[in-house]
Amino acid sequence: MATQENAPQEFQGRLAAGKDWREIVAWVGDLPPMPHVASRAISMVENPDTTATELTELLSSDTALAARVLKIANSAMFSRQREITTLNQAIMIIGFKALKGIIVAATLRQLNKNFGKLEKLIWENSIGTATSATYICRKLKKRYHEEIFLLGLLHSLGQIVLLFQKETSSDYKNVIKLVRDSHLDYNTAELQTFGFAHPLIGALVAKKWNFSSETCQVILHYKDPVEGAKPETELDEKTAIVQLGDMMAHVAGIGTPEGYPSQMENILPLAKYLGFEQKDLEATLEEMINLVQQQFEKERHVYE
């Protein structure tokens, strides 16, 4: 009988009864690798010896990717109050850390080639969460606000993959039906439909694509309940910021399907856990949610 016995740690408690973790490993193993130019660009970004000229030459070899990188680079999230007209400008002005997020955003968007109503919904939630997490990071004066955009973006990598693959995309409409009719969140509805949920798939794909262990852990755990009065590690903190960013995006109605459960009751305790001052906390969060909503509405065309 297929069980979770002897399954790797990341599978523990994340599979429906009778679901064989080895089938999921094999399925992920058969998924296509990250596109070559994007994969090479991310490796180069992480190499301190890489020059802007080398990156420009590489990105220029993929016209579609280059155009999307340039488009996203000019969004308010990344631009530095001046129009960026060339890839070399983008790299020099924005910097390598932020560029990594832009390359991943451009690559994930290219995976959604169909970009139907459902794909658009998931993609918008990715952008909304990344934007919200960045606002949270800046509000808390954390040093890793450029990195958190990438983590927020990747939180729904598993959903993008589930929609990209023919054998799972056709069944994702059942997930949306469960959300609508039973007021379940994506995670719970996916578990009932597939026997696993997108955080697990996202973490496995991120590992396959050679993202850092920390990135994989954030993706895997971002839907887990937090423990304790405050984060014990920076990893706990980043994971909670992505979780709060996802909640804020849904409250703002970004990538939120009909029937999705309200996130308001969970937002306040999570914000306190992250260290937001309790004085006027509701007003602070409401202001941030409004800012995220306004920025998204103003710039949603950039990511389409």
The CATH number assigned to the domain holding 271 equals: 1.10.3210.10
Q: Is residue 158 part of a domain?
A: yes
Q: Are residues 105 and 118 in the same domain?
A: no
Residue type, 231: P
Q: Residue 10: how many CB atoms within 10 A of its CB?
A: 17
Q: Are residues 98 and 216 in the same domain?
A: no
Query: Rounded to whole angstroms, how far apart are CA atoms 202 and 270?
Result: 23
Q: Are residues 192 and 283 in the same domain?
A: yes
Residue type, 95: G
Query: Rounded to whole angstroms, how far apart are CA atoms 239 and 269?
Result: 15
Q: Is residue 4 part of a domain?
A: no
Q: Per residue in 236-294, pLDDT tens? A: 999 999 999 999 999 999 999 999 999 888 999 999 999 998 888 999 999 999 999 99
Q: Nearest to residue 268, comparing CAs of 296, 254, 289? A: 289
Q: Is residue 6 part of a domain?
A: no
Q: Are residues 168 and 275 in the same domain?
A: yes
Q: Are residues 169 and 304 in the same domain?
A: yes
Question: To which residue do tokens 């305790």 refer?
Answer: 269
Question: To which residue do tokens 């530095």 refer?
Answer: 80
Q: Are residues 224 and 121 in the same domain?
A: yes
Q: Are residues 174 and 283 in the same domain?
A: yes
Mean pLDDT over residues 216-232, rounded?
A: 95
Q: Are residues 136 and 65 in the same domain?
A: no
Residues contacting residue 47 through CB under 8 Å, at least 6 positions apart: none
Query: Rounded to whole angstroms, how far apart are CA atoms 70 and 90?
Result: 7
Confidence at residue 1, expressed as pLDDT on a 0 to 100 scale: 38
Question: To which residue do tokens 């959300």 refer?
Answer: 179
Which of residues 84, 111, 138 is at a domain's end? 111
Query: Rounded to whole angstroms, how far apart are CA atoms 275 and 107?
Result: 34
Domain around 269: 114-304
Q: Are residues 262 and 129 in the same domain?
A: yes
Q: Is residue 26 part of a domain?
A: no
Task: Quote the distance between the C-alpha of residue 114 and its chain's center.
Answer: 19
Q: Residue 217: how many CB atoms within 10 A of its CB?
A: 17
Q: Are residues 103 and 162 in the same domain?
A: no
Q: Are residues 70 and 43 in the same domain?
A: yes
Q: Per residue in 54-111, pLDDT tens? A: 999 999 998 888 888 888 888 777 766 678 888 888 888 778 888 888 888 888 877 7
Q: Nearest to residue 230, comparing CAs of 274, 281, 279, 266? A: 274
Query: Rounded to whole angstroms, how far apart are CA atoms 211 and 33?
Result: 12
Q: Is residue 173 part of a domain?
A: yes
Residue 3: band (very low, low, confident or very high) from pLDDT cuts 50, 70, 90: low
Specify the number of domains making up the chain. 2
Which of residues 85, 111, 137 is at a domain's end? 111
Which of residues 111, 146, 164 is at a domain's end? 111
Q: Are residues 226 and 143 in the same domain?
A: yes
Highest mean pLDDT among 30-44, 104-118, 200-214: 200-214
* DSSP conformation class of 261: P
